Amino acid sequence: GAVVSQHPSRVICKSGTSVKIECRSLDFQATTMFWYRQFPKKSLMLMATSNEGSKATYEQGVEKDKFLINHASLTLSTLTVTSAHPEDSSFYICSAYRLIEGETQYFGPGTRLLVL
């Protein structure tokens, strides 16, 4: 399967600071990447669709000014949580879309964010 990496794997920050999470597609070019949030024992909640060279498309209820997404290249998308607060603490997972035989997403290992 395809390989997607995320960095950092864990981050602890103070309330009010900004945190950047990187998502890289290591062995294929991904024109589309997705960002998810997952709460304990819950399924994945899609936050936004990131398209290379254009603005991200956010799901209803997701604040685009709080969760800044940049997809500057075909192998890198970043999610910046701005002015983080404790309620932003969560598990953030990215995925890269690949059209092989059909339409599939390959997921990164996730980033655990804890805001104090």
Partner 1 sequence: QKEVEQDPGPLSVPEGAIVSLNCTYSNSAFQYFMWYRQYSRKGPELLMYTYSSGNKEDGRFTAQVDKSSKYISLFIRDSQPSDSATYLCAMSISGNTGKLIFGQGTTLQVKP
Using CB under 8 A as the criterion, what x/- string covers residues 33-72 for binding partner 1? -x------xxxx-x--x-----------------------
Question: What backbone torsions phi and psi does residue 61 show, to the nearest 5 degrees?
Answer: 90, -10
Instruction: Out of 17, 109, 114, 116, name the contact with partner 1 by CB under 8 A.
Output: 109
Rounded to an integer, what distance in angstroms lies between the CA atom of residue 94 and that of residue 75?
Answer: 12
Rounded to an integer, what distance in angstroms lies between the CA atom of residue 36 and that of residue 33?
Answer: 10
Contact residues: partner 1, CB under 8 A: 1, 4, 6, 32, 34, 41-44, 46, 49, 91, 93, 95, 97-99, 101-110, 112
